[in-house]
Amino acid sequence: MLKKRVIFTLLYDNGSFMLSRNFRLQRVGDLNWLQRNYNFSKIAFSIDELIILDVTRGNRDQGKFCYHIRSLTEDCFVPIAAGGGIRCVKDAKMLLRSGADKVVLNTLIDINPNVIIEIASEFGQQCIVASVDIKRLNNEITVQTENGSRIQDSTLFEWVDKLLNLHVGELYLTSMDRDGTGQGYDVSLLDFLPKPMPIPVILAGGAGQYHHLAEGLKDKRVDAVATAHLFNFVGDGLEKARQELIKNKFILPIWNTQKVSEMKRIFTKME
């Protein structure tokens, strides 16, 4: 059986890191605050991937965002995916050169899908994570882009079927209704995806406790679960959650902390 993953997502807005509830943002702190409260050299042993999303509503400063990505990659050995505001191959290249291993695309699926094919051609399909935001309106499931401000006409099935033809490597599926609520994932959204799904699915929106992560990972259609809540898993929360998952027979990578530390020391000396 393939290993599953636990992902930590950071929401970035013009130099600050944010809490989100139903896509309404609240500022928490800057990079200094984040580094004081989250030791990523330690947290990296409790997660399998870090996602950093630029959710800035106004004009974006990509150079500033790339600086934050570089700062966070210094202490984090797990793969990092970054996205937000990518409109061309150059934008994707800037993020990858700043330390990201993958790029996360959302609105681009709507406004210029051909660019996604270009990015995949240059950097590989495994480099692209397609982010899809879902909201229930009038008993219907809607796909929303542009930070949840634009409703698409396509059904979730049609939208995902479309992006599967764009050479994306993974699907990051977020419930806007559950986002930041701590009420657990909306697993029922998986029923509206193509069957079988040919790419890994990351489920996001709603995780507030260990058992929410477990509930998501139990579903055979889910390859990874993500949490973006900065307080529900503060301190040793992520570490304890991972220990419980492994204790309950979830197949997650097990890091050899001593070997990783030795490798980091070797690379530091080489630099």
Select which of 13, 54, 91, 133 is catalytic. Answer: 133
Query: What are the phi and psi torsion angles at 81 (to 5°)?
Result: -115, 140
3-state secondary structure of 64: helix
DSSP bridge pairs for 50: 8, 80
d(CA 3, CA 69): 26
- Clarify whether 133 is annotated catalytic: yes
d(CA 159, CA 131): 11
Residues with Cβ within 8 Å of 27's Cβ and at least 6 positions away in sequence, in order, are 13, 16, 17, 18
Radius of gyration in angstroms for the set of CA atoms belonging to the chain, rounded to a whole number:
18
Tell me which DSSP letter residue 3 carries.
P
d(CA 35, CA 48): 19
Give how far Cα 135 sits from Cα of 145, 195, 210, 213, Å.
11, 21, 24, 21
| Other CB atoms within 10 A of residue 168 CB | 24
Backbone dihedral region of 205: left (phi > 0), alpha (psi from -120 to 50 degrees) or beta? left
Residues with Cβ within 8 Å of 249's Cβ and at least 6 positions away in sequence, in order, are none
Catalytic residue numbers read 133
